[in-house]
Amino acid sequence: MTTKGQTILITGGTDGIGLALAQRLGEDNRLLIIGRSKEKLTQYFWHEKKVRTYVADLSSMEEVKTVSNTILSDIDGIDLLIHNASCVSSARIVTNDGFEMQLAVNYLAPVLLTAKLLPLLKRKQGTILFINSRAHKRVKFDISDLQLAQDYSLSKSYNRSKLYLVMYAKRLSELLVTEGVKVQTVHPGLVNTKMGEKQCNIFHRTAWIVLKHLGKSPKCAANNIVRIIGSYEFRETSGCFFGPNVQETPASVVRDHEAKHNLWVLTEKTLQTSIL
């Protein structure tokens, strides 16, 4: 696919990689930006004629449904859906829906948003892109305690949410193989963003502030992602995991059909809806 003349939806488009992607892709494309802050959406995009903005807190599944319905009524197709919004939290926070926060934002919200917007992607034979992390390889697949009610930690929740997302993306790519819709996942590398400074205790916040300065800028990460999107390898495959530069091998459980099926079934049960 090219990255010119497309209709592109970006979640979390008011900070970090999402904002940098919006600024980069907005040069030649029509953008739809979902953000939690109306003020930031106005600040960054009020003057952009080719940008539509939508306010939604993606930790709320009701808000995911509402914004999906609004987008469905606004446009007739999506060429590229970029799931960028993500969060971390030192404490175990439970959303109004009763979901653990990182699970809700990093996994359940993109799954539900994809399900709702799939008709728009099918019309354009579009591509779904999940911004992910190699951190998904650092945790064992386990859905016996999906909400981590018994043994919560920031890293365990984050890593699991990213693992679930890679597995879901792979399974979705298999199910959409005849629909013309592609599904890809990319790890942009360590990026200097503010994600690790929000909802974190002093220990995690300090560690992130030190670590992030070793990473690339959001602009550099966005340029790498755009380069990957435009590559032959990205265009001609589906269900792949890309690193900052080339295609990489994800965790071995991503190839486990039974594990992917079990996760899919539990996800539908958790969301109380079909996700395809």
Chain center to CA of 153: 21
pLDDT given at position 122: 97
pLDDT given at position 47: 84
pLDDT given at position 204: 60
Split at pLDDT 50, 70, 90, the class of 189 is: confident
For the chain, the average pLDDT equals: 92
Q: What are the distances in angstroms from CA 233 to CA 126, 152, 227?
A: 16, 38, 11
Count CA atoms within 13 Å of residue 246 on its CB side: 2
Count CA atoms within 13 Å of residue 162 on its CB side: 26
pLDDT given at position 272: 97
Q: Are 163 and 136 in contact (CB under 8 A)?
A: yes
Q: Are 39 and 62 in contact (CB under 8 A)?
A: no
Split at pLDDT 50, 70, 90, the class of 29 is: very high
What gap in Å lies between CA 135 and CA 119, rounded to an integer?
A: 31
- Domains of the chain from N-terminus onward: 7-271 (3.40.50.720)
Contacts of 151 (CB under 8 A, 6+ apart): 145
Quick check: 25 pLDDT over 60?
yes
Give residue-wise pLDDT tens across range 73-90: 999 999 999 999 999 999
Which sign, positive or negative, has the C-alpha torsion 189, 193, 194, 197?
A: positive
Percentages (nearest 5) of helix, strand, coil residues in the chain: 50, 15, 40
Give residue-wise pLDDT tens across range 144-175: 999 999 999 999 999 999 999 999 999 999 99
Quick check: 181 pLDDT over 70?
yes
| Residue of 266, 43, 13 lying closest to 147 (CA atoms) | 266
Q: Are 139 and 195 in contact (CB under 8 A)?
A: no
pLDDT given at position 197: 55
pLDDT given at position 183: 98
Q: Are 140 and 164 in contact (CB under 8 A)?
A: no
* Local structure of 1: helix, strand or coil: coil
Q: Which residue has the tokens 């974190």?
A: 200
Give residue-wise pLDDT tens across range 196-248: 557 755 656 665 565 656 667 889 989 999 999 999 999 999 999 999 989 99
pLDDT given at position 200: 59
Give residue-wise pLDDT tens across range 104-139: 999 999 999 999 999 999 999 999 999 999 999 999
Contacts of 39 (CB under 8 A, 6+ apart): none
Which residues does residue 191 pair with via DSSP β-bridges, in sequence order?
A: 216
Structure tokens at 209: 């502030």
